[in-house]
């Protein structure tokens, strides 16, 4: 569900004054200003004042109700249908709401629900990313980064636009929400955002080319799965080309 005019419901924690809107000045006090009681659209405080916590969980006996909030968008559900309806009723009494329906798209993530389970992907987001960096006609490699690739600071390399590089890295980092297969390679490229070189940009674009070949991939949560946590440990001794430090993970 979606909160209509959400920014008009946030409470301020500081004194803020605004001039009277043109055409709506008070005839008795034309030069006076208004002291705001709540936020308005255009205030830099509005998004933060609208909501602070983002995840709310309520346990009622053996049942759980969850609401995830992002500014004015709310994803919610419960293990008992009645409590889902109760949450809607409470929100409607407090705010003007619009009920969107079953979750299919949220913050760039596509959700497909079926009797067998849930599939979460970022296919649309990934396609827009490929188009943004003009890689639609490129061939797709079989891996996001070669096992023999060893990135370094590359002090003698050709510098590239750091804003473009950081934009690419930030976009790829968001894509890892549903694509853990690129997490390691993106993390490797993310180390060089302060002074990116051409070699770093080539490696980062290689990841995006890899995504292009399997853009439809995502995370499948089967209802038959017991959701057991599987762990592993790995180590890369003296693998950092710059300082020869070892890297370990769990």
Compute the chain's Rg from CA coordinates: 24
**Residue 220 near residue 119 (C-beta atoms within 8 A):** yes
Q: What's the pLDDT score for residue 46? A: 75
* Closest C-alpha among 42, 105, 50, 32 to residue 75: 105
Report pLDDT for 146: 81
Alpha carbons 5 and 179: distance in angstroms, whole number: 34
Task: Give residue 233's pLDDT.
Answer: 76
The answer to whether 2 touches 101, Cβ cutoff 8 Å, is: no
Q: How far is it, in rounded angstroms, from Cα 72 to Cα 95?
A: 11
| Average pLDDT, consecutive stretches of 10 residues, N- to C-terminus, the chain (250 residues) | 72 87 89 88 74 82 91 86 90 83 88 92 95 92 85 91 95 94 92 94 95 94 81 76 77
The 8-class DSSP code of residue 250 comes to -
- Alpha carbon distance 171, 205 (integer Å): 11
Could you tell me which residues are beta bridge partners of residue 195? none
pLDDT number for residue 51: 63
pLDDT of residue 52: 60
């Amino acid at each position: 569900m979606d909160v209509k005019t959400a920014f008009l419901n946030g409470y301020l924690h500081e004194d803020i004054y605004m001039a009277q809107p043109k055409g709506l000045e008070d005839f008795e006090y034309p030069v006076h200003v208004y002291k705001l009681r709540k936020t308005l659209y255009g205030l830099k405080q509005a998004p933060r004042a609208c909501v602070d916590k983002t995840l709310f969980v309520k346990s009622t006996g053996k049942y759980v109700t969850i609401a995830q909030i992002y500014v004015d968008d709310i994803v919610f559900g419960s293990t008992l249908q009645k409590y889902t309806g109760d949450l809607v009723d409470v929100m409607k009494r407090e705010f003007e709401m619009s009920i969107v329906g079953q979750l299919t798209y949220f913050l760039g993530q596509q959700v497909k629900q079926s009797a067998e389970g849930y599939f979460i992907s970022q296919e649309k987001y990934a396609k827009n990313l490929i188009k943004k960096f003009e890689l639609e006609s490129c061939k797709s490699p079989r891996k996001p980064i070669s096992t023999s690739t060893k990135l370094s600071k590359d002090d003698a390399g050709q510098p590239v636009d750091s804003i473009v590089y950081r934009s690419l890295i930030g976009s790829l980092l968001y894509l890892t929400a549903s694509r853990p297969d690129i997490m390691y390679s993106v993390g490797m490229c993310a180390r060089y955002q302060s002074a990116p070189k051409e070699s770093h940009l080539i490696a980062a674009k290689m990841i995006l080319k890899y995504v292009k070949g399997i853009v439809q991939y995502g995370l499948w949560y089967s209802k038959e799965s017991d959701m057991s946590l599987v762990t592993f440990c790995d180590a890369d001794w003296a693998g950092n080309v710059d300082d020869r430090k070892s890297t370990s993970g769990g």
